[in-house]
Amino acid sequence: MMFTLNNATRTAVSALALVFTAAAMPAVAQDAAAPAAKWFKTCSKQEESDICVVQNQLVAANGQLITAVGLITVEGKVNRKLLQVTVPSARLIPPGVLMQIDDAKGTKLDYAVCLPDRCTAEIPLTDAIIASLKKGGNVVFTSINFRRAPNPIKIPLEGFTGAFDGEAMSQSQAEERQRMLQEAMQKKQEERNKAITDAQNAAKQGN
């Protein structure tokens, strides 16, 4: 299912899509995930607008994206501030995504677009949301999968304030960060595969 997007939303969704480049986002269990990457900020120019995104991504050990959050500021020809969360596909649409910061009351994000590999929900980004994220310890995003089971994903807020208030990464820094993240995920997957192989070999020797 895909919703019709206005120009402002399309620009913001496009901006986030440039950042979250995972090819597929299956419904992976959180216990299969590697630790969340740190918060960071990137800025770029797109369609006569300046776009800055403060973001974090939670990925599985095999490198597949589980949940991504981005605080998007678009200024110029288009002016808009959004908080967007991208989750796997096969979600129930009406419940949207529930955002809860620490023990505060949850806030619902409605889906803006669903593609074959992911769904993106959004709400306007307000000063109150930013302040809550800066003061918080963790933020949990809960979507409902097609089996009607909640899928809560926790992302630590450590480093959020520094990323939000600090300077944006350069293109080379962003590319280096992505390379290091991919290498770390590959190493973790190799360790997991080795552990499975060692266990299988031990079982064969026991027989």
What domains, with CATH codes, occur in the chain?
7-196 (2.60.40.1880)
User: pTM of this prediction?
Assistant: 0.74
Bridge partner residues of 123 (DSSP): 83
> Which position has the token pair 């300046």?
50
The per-residue pLDDT for 30 is 39
The per-residue pLDDT for 144 is 96
> Which position has the token pair 């390379």?
179
pLDDT, averaged in runs of 10, over the chain (207 residues): 39 45 35 61 88 89 81 92 94 95 96 92 97 97 95 95 91 73 73 84 78
Q: How far apart are CA 39 and CA 28, in angstroms?
A: 21
The per-residue pLDDT for 170 is 72
The per-residue pLDDT for 132 is 97
Pair 45, 73: CB distance under 8 Å: no
Three-state secondary structure call for residue 8: helix
The per-residue pLDDT for 207 is 65
Q: How far apart are CA 51 and CA 160, in angstroms?
A: 18
**Token pair of 73, please?**
């500021």
Q: How far apart are CA 137 and CA 128, in angstroms?
A: 16
**Token pair of 37, please?**
């990457």
